[in-house]
Amino acid sequence: GAGVSQSPRYKVTKRGQDVALRCDPISGHVSLYWYRQALGQGPEFLTYFNYEAQQDKSGLPNDRFSAERPEGSISTLTIQRTEQRDSAMYRCASSLAVGASGAKTQYFGPGTRLLVL
Amino acid sequence: QKEVEQNSGPLSVPEGAIASLNCTYSDRGSQSFFWYRQYSGKSPELIMFIYSNGDKEDGRFTAQLNKASQYVSLLIRDSQPSDSATYLCAVNNAGGTSYGKLTFGQGTILTVHP
């Protein structure tokens, strides 16, 4: 079936604008994750959901960043009042349900490249 | 100290050789360990995961885990030029309640030359 999809693939915005990044997980995957990846670095955890519940948002850098997944499927990562330091690749991943049995394999989407001018 | 550390490389090996990629982690409560491969400009893709001490083999790939030493490695036998990529080690620190959070190392760049 289709993999994880993200939109837009590229986003250029001016400093101070709000942006919304969308992720559509693999069908049947109830866990969804957001990461940020800087050039030459590994992905950095931002937040994750089981169904519509946000389980961990400890990686969100500050209160300008928020995420939601209201119906337990598509998720939106919103960055308010963007700053140049927010420029990065934002990656979404999904997996089967994760719980006390341990982490499940996460499948990554193609990412959204955000550039804040 | 970083939570997950990898030598950034680049690691260069000749075609047909064994490539050895290493990763150390700081959280003794870590339970699950993953190796991802990332080609330039692409998204990470899973190669292997390992949960228990010892070796786990899958084709040309072998993952090795030593929880006492907090060390996980990936061996690639009969390396091919198509194996040239960045290899990311990821650890699940499920010591608390964040069962889904993966912490990644910075990745090791592997180059396999003909």
Shortest CA gap A26–chain B (Å):
14
Query: Residues 35 to 94 of B: which have CB under 8 A from any A CB?
Result: 42-46, 49, 51, 88-90, 92, 94
Give the chain A residue whose CA is nearest to the CA of B98.
A56
Chain A residue numbers with beta carbons less than 8 Å from the beta carbon of B98 are: 48, 55-56, 58
Strands B54-58 and B61-66: antiparallel
Mean pLDDT, rounded, of chain A: 93
pLDDT confidence of B92, banded at 50, 70, 90? confident
pLDDT above 90 covers a percentage of chain A that reads 83
pLDDT, tens digit, 9 for 90 and up, residues B49-67? 998 999 999 999 999 999 9
pLDDT at B2: 74
Kindly state the average pLDDT of the residues A87-105. Answer: 83
pLDDT at B7: 87
pLDDT, tens digit, 9 for 90 and up, residues A30-72? 999 999 999 999 999 999 999 999 999 999 999 999 999 999 9
E-only strand ranges, chain B:
4-6, 11-14, 19-25, 32-38, 45-50, 54-58, 61-66, 71-76, 85-92, 102-104, 108-113
pLDDT confidence of B104, banded at 50, 70, 90? very high
Shortest CA gap A17–chain B (Å):
26
Query: Residues 7 to 46 of B: which have CB under 8 A from any A CB?
Result: 8, 31-32, 34, 42-46
pLDDT, tens digit, 9 for 90 and up, residues B20-32? 999 999 988 888 8
pLDDT at B97: 58
The DSSP call for residue A25 is: P
Q: How many CB atoms lie within 10 A of CB A65?
A: 18
Q: How many CB atoms lie within 10 A of CB B58?
A: 10
